Chains A and B, each alone.
Chain A
Amino acid sequence: MDSKEFIANVRRSLGREEGSQVTPSEATHMSLSSQQVESWAQAITRGIEAHADEYMGQLEKTAVEAGWRVARCATAAQAASHIRNIVRDVEATSVLHSAHPALEALHLGETLIGTGANLEAMVLNDTSDREVQRDALRQKAINADIGITGVDYAIAETGTAVLLARKGVSRVVSLLPPVHIAVVEKGQVLPSLDELFTLRRKEFLHNNLGSYMNLISGPSRSADIEYQLVTGVHGPGEVHMVLIG
């Protein structure tokens, strides 16, 4: 149906006139001006630094409750050796990772030497046709045993890893392999969902929202048969959250 006609019908059903004003409502965040969003976002950024330890402590607890296997590591070196142990335990032969700054400090290439696992970055380069590369990377993700990602944020309220669309971050590294490892650094943890969405609105106002966002809170699961919980239905059944700091 023509959109104008459709919307006109909705308007008629509501008994509203064409061009009638929207009654403002305090209930929705839409009422906040961009200056307000901007100053909130600044306050949030200051808050996550000031309360970094507190939020990390909360996340450690809620992430376990959400079904993550959580390891709190003091240093990047400890985190790297923990990841090496996971790769050995899983007997992985193929490990994929995406491009996150937090992963660089782990020197995954050196870390995994001697584990028998082949490590590859799921990142497009500029040297050849992107579509050809995309097909090849997709096939690698289908066959990979483990996917390692950083996060853009984590959420203390819900035990959530937040992954945003950005260059070098594939949608499927955290989805197709049966094991996912998410690396979280101190200072990335937001207290609740509300702060995340305020920051997202700020990015939107800066024209920087990106094409997707994934909130991941524990393993893929289902209780669709007799309410019995099973994990690893379509996504990973085993998920590790590695906290650094």
Chain B
Amino acid sequence: MQPRIKQFPQLAAAALKDEQIQNNLLGLYNGFHQARIAASEATPNWDELSDRGRAIKAHTIDNLDYYLEMVERTVTAAGGKVFFAKDSDEATQYVIEVAKARGVKLAIKGKSMVSEEMGLNHRLEEAGIEPVETDLGEYIIQLADETPFHIIAPAIHKSKEQVSDLFQEKLGTPPMTEISDLAAEARRQLRKKFIEADMGITGANFVVAETGTVALVTNEGNGRMSTSMPKLHIAITGMEKVLPSIEDLGIMLRLLIRSATGQRISSYVTTVTGPRKSDDEDGPEEFHLVLVDNGRSKLLADPALRESLYCIRCGACLNACPVYRKVGGHAYGWVYPGPIGAIVSPMLTGLSDGKDLPYASSLCGACKEACPVKINIPRMLLYMRHQLAEGDNYPEHKTAPLGEAITFKLWRLSLSNSLSLKIFSGLARLLQKPFAKDGRINKLPPPLSAWTNLRTFPALASRPFRKRWKS
């Protein structure tokens, strides 16, 4: 998918003015966010579970080379094939090669965020293979040719009327007013595709190194369909999804599902270990696992950002974030929105283009509190801001303009001792005079107008606190 992270300010401004998006975002908070809080409170020892989950991820990521070798060995032993892709292109080429070798015409897809990274659907179409998304939300956005708005609920920005219009236009169905009718229509349409499909493409929520097992979490059953009906199954996922032991799944599934939707468990959890065995009644004849780097090794290499790879993609930080809840998923301009996206998207697609994203946060810490594996997102956002302004770790991406650098140097100087504070605040009191009214500053000239366009702030008091305290 072509990143548009550079356009965050424009996209965010547009979303703020869109009444329907604002309404639907409210639903995210009242729905998923509250459900997550209730579910974590109802789980005994949630905090302990969280610490354990974090420790499992920390250990696996710190030793990822070891566990990736193990995955290659165990998946192969189970009769599957593993392909390691350094970027989107390699992963896409591999999928297309495998598909062509089997003469695939129709591929059904379970939900996979990494395939969104790859822009896989368009590439399959170019190769003459019809890709069909089967998660209801993904199906809707595929018909609309859009990108996911939320990693758990991709089409949550659309109203049922818009979905009905879309179905009329693309599927030729009559107008529908009930959501259950829309879902039933999607079931009819997609059932045909499941039956005809030559290939199933899924993501993987977890990959178990010891056993060579892939775990899929779904509510609709698209994951089960995609791994049961076609003769060929390809699972594509990021290389950070590895867990050491199948026994670790109990902890990780609880953390993921309860944080994502607030359910105790999703309707379906399916584990797949290789293709079907000769005694199995049914199942795919061929199984491939594609593990994708696509920039993740950059996050591994920077100890300050490494913990972003602990993310299990539950979406809890999106729902908790006061910024995401106003600007929505499309504003972030790539596959991963919200607080974790503000770290991952610029790092995977280009830090200079994504320089606004680390600033799209009030650093309030709600994301850190919501994260089931306690990822310290605010710390990383602050670190990225520092790197963009004056750090040495990503020199080619430094973006702080000279004016900003001088301003902050002066700011530091002004606060460094009482004499300079006196001088600078006296100067500021003088300069604010034309703009201050009844103790507020309502409008400043450019470039400072960026501060006052949407809010006012208090003017400096005419007598400083220190003077008043003395008297």
Contacts and interface: CB of A to CB of B under 8 A. Distances in A.
B281 A123 contact: yes
A66 B264 contact: yes
A142 B90 CA distance: 36
Contacts of B82: 3
Interface stretch (B271-279, B349-357, B375-383, B390-398): B271-279
B46 interface: no
A175 B59 CA distance: 37
Interface string A196-233: 11101100100001111111111111111111101011
Interface in B230-257: 239, 243-251, 253-254
B179 A226 contact: yes
Contact of A14 (B64, B69, B195, B261): B64
A196 B155 CA distance: 34
Interface string B38-52: 000000000000001
A142 B268 contact: no
A27 B68 contact: no
Interface stretch (B124-132, B134-142, B323-331, B462-470): B134-142
Interface residues of B, number: 96
Given A23-B59, A234-B220, A28 B244 contact: yes
Interface in B58-115: 58-60, 62-66, 68-69, 72, 78, 82, 84-86, 90
A235 B272 contact: no
B160 A235 contact: no
B246 A204 contact: yes
Interface stretch (A50-58, A73-81, A103-111, A159-167): A159-167
Given A28-B60, A137-B282, A226-B27, A159 B84 contact: no
A84 interface: no
Contact of A213 (B154, B180, B270): B270
Nearest to B161: A226
Contacts of A168: 281
Contacts of A234: 134, 187, 190-191, 194, 220-222, 224-225
Nearest to A200: B246
Interface in B161-211: 163, 179-180, 182-184, 186-187, 190-191, 194-195, 210-211
Contacts, number: 263
Contacts of B293: 6, 9-10
A222 B265 contact: no
B135 A224 contact: yes
Nearest to B190: A234
Contact of B153 (A98, A213, A224): A224
B319 to A, nearest CB: 12
Contacts of B225: 175, 234-235
A12 B65 CA distance: 9
A209 B77 CA distance: 12
A160 B69 CA distance: 33
A167 B279 contact: yes
Interface centre among B59, B239, B265, B266 (most CB of A within 10 A): B265
Contacts of B191: 234
A224 B155 contact: yes
A153 to B, nearest CB: 13
Nearest to A167: B279
A120 B297 CA distance: 52
Given A27-B56, A172-B282, A10 B277 contact: no
A67 to B, nearest CB: 8
Contacts of A132: none
Given A23-B62, A215-B269, A234-B194, A172 B27 contact: no
Interface string A153-180: 0000111100001011111100100000
B41 to A, nearest CB: 16
A197 B221 CA distance: 21
B248 A212 contact: no
Contacts of A6: 68, 84, 86, 293
Interface centre among B24, B78, B213 (most CB of A within 10 A): B213
Interface centre among B154, B179, B194 (most CB of A within 10 A): B179
A11 B64 CA distance: 8
B248 A29 contact: yes
A142 B191 CA distance: 9
A233 B273 contact: no
Contact of B160 (A1, A9, A14, A226): A226
Contacts of B246: 29, 197, 200-201, 204
A214 B264 contact: no
Given A98-B281, A171-B227, A218-B267, 11 more contacts: A16-B65, A22-B66, A28-B55, A28-B243, A168-B281, A175-B221, A200-B247, A201-B211, A201-B245, A211-B280, A226-B179
Interface of B: 24, 27, 31, 52, 55-56, 58-60, 62-66, 68-69, 72, 78, 82, 84-86, 90, 134-137, 140, 153-156, 158-160, 163, 179-180, 182-184, 186-187, 190-191, 194-195, 210-211, 213, 219-222, 224-225, 227-229, 239, 243-251, 253-254, 261, 264-277, 279-283, 293, 297-298, 300-301
7 contacts: A7-B84, A30-B210, A159-B265, A194-B251, A197-B250, A210-B273, A227-B27
